[in-house]
Structure 1
């Protein structure tokens, strides 16, 4: 099984409603996103997927989040379990990325999405699936 990962960044604000601490106030991060794609074989050029293709897809997803207040965007409105935490952001990006990657090549899948809200703190979302 091959893995290929890329990273991108975007800036956005958020707050964690009902949180007991400073993160309950609106604050910003330069979020770093890492997406990993998995596949069983390389193409005729010896690549799993072109880095540029994966970067383009990921940038199209994060472009909608860039310089936004994440609490005001549909997937995160309402607080509680939908709050724009690093965990929920990782899942949201994973779910947006998954159909794009599958459509490119049927044997590719998203392995994981990791979201850093600081250099020392990150969250990962991945789906556990049997390898074929």
Structure 2
């Protein structure tokens, strides 16, 4: 299996509901390194997994929609705990939609999977992987 990973960063504010979150129930900030990994069993006709430039650009657009936002104020997240795991899925699903729409190039249609990892710190991160 071949893979290519591109990276972005994301800074948000949010709060959580539920005792399990302790002090994170209050409004707080989070800064993430966002890694998006694209997978396929064989290289395309250009001998690449995905166009790195397009992958980087499209990941940047997605992350840019949430950057410097209080996610508690975003209608799409109304009533949702925007955990690191949840946000990894949101980004992965958005990237999958772009692959299917051809935004990452025709060669990207041969991708079989996407994984997104959000690094909260040097000691904690969460990931979501999905098939295409």
State the TM-score, normalized to the length of structure 1: 0.85
Structure 1 residues 74, 118: CA separation in 2 closer, same or farther (over 3 Å shift)?
farther
Quote the offset at 1:28 in angstroms. 0.7
Quote the offset at 1:4 in angstroms. 0.8
Quote the offset at 1:2 in angstroms. 1.0
- Whether 1:9 aligns to 2:9 is yes
Quote the offset at 1:114 in angstroms. 0.8
In structure 2, the gaps of 5 or more residues are none
- Partner residue of 1:85 out of 69, 74, 83: 83
State the TM-score, normalized to the length of structure 2: 0.85
Correspondence for 2:46: 45
- Partner residue of 1:116 out of 109, 116, 119: 119
SS at match of 1:17: coil
Q: Which has the higher helix share?
A: 2
RMSD: 1.8
Correspondence for 1:70: 71
Q: Supply the distance in 2 between the matched residues of 1:9 and 1:115 (Cα, whole angstroms).
A: 9
Between the two proteins, the alignment pairs up a number of residues equal to: 126
Q: Supply the distance in 1 between the matched residues of 2:68 and 2:25 (Cα, whole angstroms).
A: 19
Q: Confirm or deny: 8 A CA contact 1:29 1:118 kept in the other structure.
A: no
Q: Supply the distance in 1 between the matched residues of 2:110 and 2:15 (Cα, whole angstroms).
A: 38
Quote the offset at 1:43 in angstroms. 3.1
- Whether 1:57 aligns to 2:58 is yes
